[in-house]
Amino acid sequence: MNEYPQTPQHENTPQRPAPRKPQQGMTRGVNLYILIVAAVAIVAAVVIFLVMHSKSSRLDAQLEQVELEKEQLALANEYQQLNNEFAQYENQTILLANDSIVEKYAAAKAKVEKLLQELNQEKTKNRARIAQLEGEIKTLKAILKTYVERIDELSKENESLRDENTRVKNRNRELSQNLTSAQRSNEELSERMTLAEKLNVTGVTLTSLKSNGKREKNITKAKQLMVTFTIPQNNSTPVGEKAIYLRIINPEGDLLRGNGQTFTFEGQSLDCSAMKTIEYAGEEIGGVTMYWDVNTTLNPGEYTVELFADNFRLASRKFTMTK
C-alpha cells in the first residue's frame, strides 16, 4: 500500500513539457561556434587568395614589362649593329647614285628611329608596338642585305672595269711608246734628210784689208773685213738661188752691223753684217767672198764668223786678230 494516495489525473488536463536537458544546449553552442570559425576561415582564405592573386597579377605585369623592355633593348642593339654595318658601305653610296635602294633604306631607318623614340618615351611598353618595331627592323635588315649585295655586285663590276681600263691603258701606253718611237725615227730620218740637203761650206777665212784691198795685219787699221769660203758639191741640196748671211762678232761680243739687213733663224729675226745671193747648181763653188766695211773701231782679239742659209747655220769659226 502506498502511504500517500495518488491524485487522480483528469483526462483533459494539459500536460507540461518536459524540461530541456542541459547537454542538448551545449551541443548547439558548439556547432554555432564552429560555423562562425569556418566562415571566418573561408573569408580569410578568400581575402588571402585575392591578395595573392592581385600580387601575382602585378608581378606578372611587371615581369611582362621587364621582358618587353629587354626585347626593345635587344631590338635597339640590333638596329645599332645594322647602322654600324651600313656605315661601312656608306662611302660607297656613290655607286648607287641612281638606285632607289638608298631612299628605301633611309625611309626604313627613319621609321625605326621614330618608333624607338616613341617607345622610349612611353612609360608602359606595348607588345603590339614592340612587334611593330621588330617588323620594321626586319625590313631594314632585308634592305641592308640587298644594299650590300648591290654594292658588292657593283664593286665587282667596277673592279672588272678597272682591270679592263688598266689593260687598255697599258695597251695605249705601249701603242704610244711605239708611236713615239716611230715618230722619233721619222724625226731622225727627216732630220738626216734635212741635214743632207743643207748647203755646206768649207775653208772659211777672215782677213782684214786696207783701203786698196790689200791685206792689213793690224786689225786696228783695217778698212774692210773679208770672209772667204768654198761651197762643195752636194747632190742632196736643192739647186737654185741661195741667200747667204754673214755675222761677225767682235771680241766684246757685239755684232758688226751692216746695212740693216735681217734674216730669220729658228723663228727669230737676226741682224747680219752682210748678205750675198748665189746661184747653186749642185756643183762646187770656190772662192766665195763676202765683205764688211769697217764703220767702228776694231780691237785686237777673238772674232767669230757665222754663215747662215736656208734657216741653217752653215758654219761658226773663231779667228784671232792682232795689231
Q: Residue 223 in contact with residue 216, Cβ under 8 Å?
A: yes
pLDDT (0 to 100) of residue 4: 47
Question: Are both 112 and 207 inside the same structural domain?
Answer: no
Instruction: Give the residue, 210 or 119, on which the prediction is more confident.
Output: 210
The pLDDT of residue 150 is above 60: yes
In this prediction, residue 71 carries a pLDDT of 79
- Residue 247 and residue 113 share a domain: no
What tens digit of pLDDT does each residue of 68-92 get? Answer: 778 777 878 877 887 777 776 666 6
**Residue 269 contacts residue 292 (beta carbons within 8 Å):** no
* Structural domain range at position 301: 202-321
pLDDT of residue 20: 53
pLDDT (mean) for 177-181: 77
| pLDDT of 93 | 63
Average pLDDT estimate for 89-99: 62
Asked, for residue 72, whether it belongs to a domain, the answer is yes
Q: Dump pLDDT digits (tens) for 216-264.
A: 999 999 999 999 999 999 888 889 999 999 999 999 999 999 888 999 9
Q: Looking at the domain assignment, is residue 23 inside a domain? A: no
CB 255 within 8 A of CB 271: yes
Question: Are 170 and 214 within one domain?
Answer: no
Give the residue carrying C-alpha cell 642593339: 77
Question: Does 255 share its domain with 207?
Answer: yes
Residue 314 lies in a domain: yes
Residue 13 lies in a domain: no
Counting the structural domains of the chain, the total is: 2
Query: Quick one: 193 and 219 in the same domain?
Result: no
Helices (H), the chain: 22-90, 101-121, 127-197
**Residue 309 has what pLDDT?**
95
With beta carbons less than 8 A apart as the criterion, state whether 125 and 63 touch. no
> Would residue 123 count as lying in a domain?
yes
Out of 162, 182, 197, a domain closes at 197
pLDDT band at 312 (very low <50, low <70, confident <90, very high): very high
- Over 90: is that where the pLDDT of 308 sits? yes
Residue 67 grid cell: 621582358
For the chain, how far is it from start to end, CA to CA, in angstroms? Answer: 221
pLDDT winner (highest mean) among 8-12, 122-126, 304-308? 304-308
Q: Are residues 161 and 235 in the same domain?
A: no
Pick from 181, 197, 213: which residue ends a domain? Answer: 197
Q: Which residue has the higher pLDDT, 277 or 189?
A: 277
Same domain, 67 and 118: yes
Q: 275: pLDDT confidence band, cut at 50, 70 and 90?
A: very high
pLDDT of the residue at 90 = 64
pLDDT of residue 133: 82
Burial 267-295 (b: 16+ CB within 10 A, else e): eeeeebbbbbeeebeeeebeebebebebe
Q: Examine the pLDDT at 111 and tell me if it is beyond 70.
A: yes
Q: Is residue 78 part of a domain?
A: yes
Q: Is 0.75 surpassed by the pTM of this model?
A: no
269 and 245 Cβ atoms separated by less than 8 Å:
no
- Asked whether residue 26 is assigned to any structural domain, the reply reads no
Considering the chain, what is the average pLDDT of its residues? Answer: 81
Residue 249: CA count within 13 A, CB half-sphere: 12
One domain for residues 118 and 182: yes
Nearest alpha-carbon partner for 287 in 216, 205, 198: 205
Q: Domain end: 197, 232, 266, which one?
A: 197
- Tell me what pLDDT residue 99 has: 66
Mean pLDDT of 158-185: 79
> Is residue 18 a part of any domain in this protein?
no
227 lies in the same domain as 151: no
- Identify the DSSP state of 253: S
Predicted confidence band of residue 56 (pLDDT cuts 50, 70, 90): low
Q: Is the same domain home to 280 and 313? A: yes
Confidence band of 126 (pLDDT split at 50, 70, 90): confident
Provide the phi-psi class of 282: left if phi over 0, else alpha when psi is between -120 and 50, else beta.
left
